[in-house]
Structure 1
């Protein structure tokens, strides 16, 4: 995507009214996908990635596991719909920081399409990564929860409405170095829900270094989950 296209998104932002306008270019769409055929065709779909962390792999390699997960798998399974390029950054960023709630449905639909096309083992429960109470009050919603509810409706999987909490406000992960991200979320979550025998999928907006989802996975496993997976619309 070029900078001129991003300028177009910004100029047409006020005219975007999902589902009658494309969330990326504001052209008319005839159905409820939220993205026109042209923009959908330009999306950088993540079709070859590590099965355990969704990290993009070279398209010409036969392996399905990245070198990091060969030593220590991040999750039992992970999947993301698209690369975190400018288009996905626009969709996610507008949802999180500009209150474009309709983008949650668009992102969930993209993720549901990717799940449907992949060898996804299925799960019993979706667990959106929680916001701290102060962040929730400031933003007014949890973007991961909004995505999870739309995704759950498409997949026929319930979404956990309680039990998983963020204990303390953490710094924004994108502002930290890779080394600092693990420390930033260490001990930040708790789960007081009985997940004994459950196959759960953690849902976030973007998978970057996996540190946040790993911290969630730790408390979810301690609560009894037998399989912990991770889903996100985008993978950085």
Structure 2
């Protein structure tokens, strides 16, 4: 159902590039604009933090490894990807989200496939305000491209936390404490969490910790973009 809605929206705007307005060649974007997207290359293997010097892990993950085993991100959260994500997340531009998810599915190398994908949930109040969960829409497209099942109701956000974007990592973790509950059995499963943007990793950390506590064998994550 979600894919059919996305396809309809995409078909109506496929003639024009989402960024420059020229002829769209690749997932709703022209080849020239696609080449300008800030692909994430040198990054921490655990949290996907962009690194200046070549290294496998960032200092924070070396000091205290997170509960998730690794994050894969397609891009830096920089222009013009950040602009497209903001349009998708806050302005209802589902076509932008669909295009990004399609491209991300081709860019991200899923070396160890999870058993299923689970989008980071929104609290019902935030969902009611926005009308959709952007992480779920990304997960649906990744699942379709990778032929993986998607469980949008696996996790439930039971408390309405403060807006996360203005909080640092310790405050985000405290903000999220106890905010997730499970609705399905995850015993022995490798869960792939999906979100749009990874900033401090606190949301993924809280969700991964809950999944592991409930018996998941492993938790990895996939996001469209990673902030510096």
Compute the TM-score of the two structures, normalised by the length of structure 2: 0.89
**Equivalent residue, structure 1, for 2:120:** 129
Alpha-carbon distance in structure 2 between the residues aligned to 1:114 and 1:164: 26
**Equivalent residue, structure 2, for 1:22:** 17
Alpha-carbon distance in structure 2 between the residues aligned to 1:30 and 1:113: 15
Alignment partner of 1:193 out of 184, 200, 214: 184
Deviations 1:104-151 (A, max 9, x none): 2112122212223xx621111111000001111111100000000001
**Equivalent residue, structure 2, for 1:152:** 143
Deviations 1:150-189 (A, max 9, x none): 0110011111032310011112211223332211111111
**Equivalent residue, structure 2, for 1:181:** 172
Q: 2:168, 2:200 within 8 Å by CA — same for their partners in 1?
A: no
In structure 1, list runs of 5 or more residues that go unmatched.
1-15
Q: 2:75, 2:224 within 8 Å by CA — same for their partners in 1?
A: yes
Q: CA deviation at 1:24?
A: 1.5
SS in structure 1 of the partner of residue 56 of structure 2: coil
Q: 2:118, 2:154 within 8 Å by CA — same for their partners in 1?
A: no
SS in structure 2 of the partner of residue 205 of structure 1: strand
**Equivalent residue, structure 1, for 2:218:** 227
Alignment partner of 2:64 out of 72, 75, 94: 72
**Equivalent residue, structure 2, for 1:50:** 44
Instruction: Kindly report structure 1 stretches of 4+ aligned residues shifted beyond 3 Å.
Output: none
Alpha-carbon distance in structure 2 between the residues aligned to 1:165 and 1:190: 5
SS in structure 1 of the partner of residue 219 of structure 2: strand
Q: CA deviation at 1:17?
A: 5.0
Alpha-carbon distance in structure 2 between the residues aligned to 1:190 and 1:101: 28
SS in structure 2 of the partner of residue 99 of structure 1: coil
**Equivalent residue, structure 1, for 2:208:** 217
**Equivalent residue, structure 1, for 2:8:** none
Alpha-carbon distance in structure 1 between the residues aligned to 2:12 and 2:64: 44
Q: 2:162, 2:175 within 8 Å by CA — same for their partners in 1?
A: yes
Report whether the alignment pairs 1:162 with 2:157.
no
- The count of residues paired between Structure 1 and Structure 2 equals 216
Alpha-carbon distance in structure 2 between the residues aligned to 1:235 and 1:160: 23
Q: What pairs with 1:78-157 in structure 2 (closer than 5 Å)? A: 78-116=71-109, 120-157=111-148
Q: 2:37, 2:79 within 8 Å by CA — same for their partners in 1?
A: no
